[in-house]
Copies of this chain bind each other. A is one copy, B any other.
Amino acid sequence: MSHDNPEIGEFLDLLGNNTRRRILESLTNEPKYFIQLSKEIGVSQQAVLKHLFLLENFGLIESFKAKSNLAAPDRKYFQLNRSVYLSIGITGNSMEIKMENIKGPNKIRSKNNMAIESKEVSIKKDKEITDILKNTKHKLELLAKRMQELEDEKIHLLKEKQQILEITHQVIRESLKEDLARRILYSNLISREITDIEELSETLNTREKEIKIVVKSLEDRFSVDLI
């Protein structure tokens, strides 16, 4: 079950902090060193370092050294490192938390580009940027639109699920006096099959033997196969 994944809790906890969200948002643009971040976000260098450590520890960001353009020593830059998608849906009768690591083609590493400071910017590059500001932006807008449609449909389905579960839970509640019997049916509703008595025993914090007896009586009474 979702609540058993300690990584989800850690991830939610990390993102629960406003400064950390702002650091991540800032790093979406380009790698930065911590003094830059501190200045941009308006938070003390010490605090930024603390948050960067937590984010790096979880693997959301990584650091690398790059040459400074001045005669100064190398700078430690931070950049986003991990692609994650998480969705949470809570309705009156259901809760689902899903976290998926997005695997994709490896990022083009920026390590070698941080120190580039060419004075002459080629006309070719200028045209590329014009194109980005016209066409790429439009592509990104289309992507955003489609993603919004997906979210909307998801919310619509969550509502539908809510309505079904509302009635379902109501009926179960009115028909079954025994706590354990209800909990077994609730479990059965959201998972495919109660194949694993052992797992159910753990989830419901109840002895396997007891579960088996109740499952059997439910199967007989409602003429269904639960296992």
Binding site for B on A (CB under 8 A): 1-3, 6, 9-10, 12-18, 21-22, 24-25, 28-30, 40, 42, 60, 79-95, 97-98, 100, 102, 104-105, 107-108, 110, 113, 116-118, 121, 125-126, 128-130, 132-134, 136-137, 139-141, 143, 146-147, 150-151, 153-155, 157-177, 182-183, 185-186, 188-190, 192, 205, 221-224, 226
Contacts and interface: CB of A to CB of B under 8 A. Distances in A.
22 contacts: A12-B16, A15-B97, A24-B90, A29-B182, A29-B186, A30-B186, A85-B155, A86-B88, A91-B102, A92-B107, A98-B151, A113-B170, A117-B177, A118-B174, A125-B174, A125-B175, A126-B221, A129-B176, A132-B172, A133-B185, A140-B190, A150-B157
Contact of A92 (B83, B88, B161, B174): B83
Contacts of A110: 170, 173
A99 to B, nearest CB: 9
Contacts of A141: 192
A32 to B, nearest CB: 10
Contacts of A9: 15-18, 21
B140 A161 contact: yes
A137 B29 contact: no
Main secondary structure of the interface of A (DSSP, over half): helix
Contacts of A166: 107-108
B3 A25 contact: yes
B224 A133 contact: yes
Nearest to A114: B173
B85 A151 contact: yes
Contacts of A10: 16
B92 A29 contact: no
Pairs of residues from A and B, 8 with the lowest C-beta to C-beta distance, nearest first:
A13-B16, A12-B16, A3-B21, A83-B91, A29-B186, A125-B175, A87-B87, A86-B88
Contacts of A100: 151, 155
A177 to B, nearest CB: 6
Contact of A175 (B98, B129, B136): B129
B92 A189 contact: no
A154 B85 contact: yes
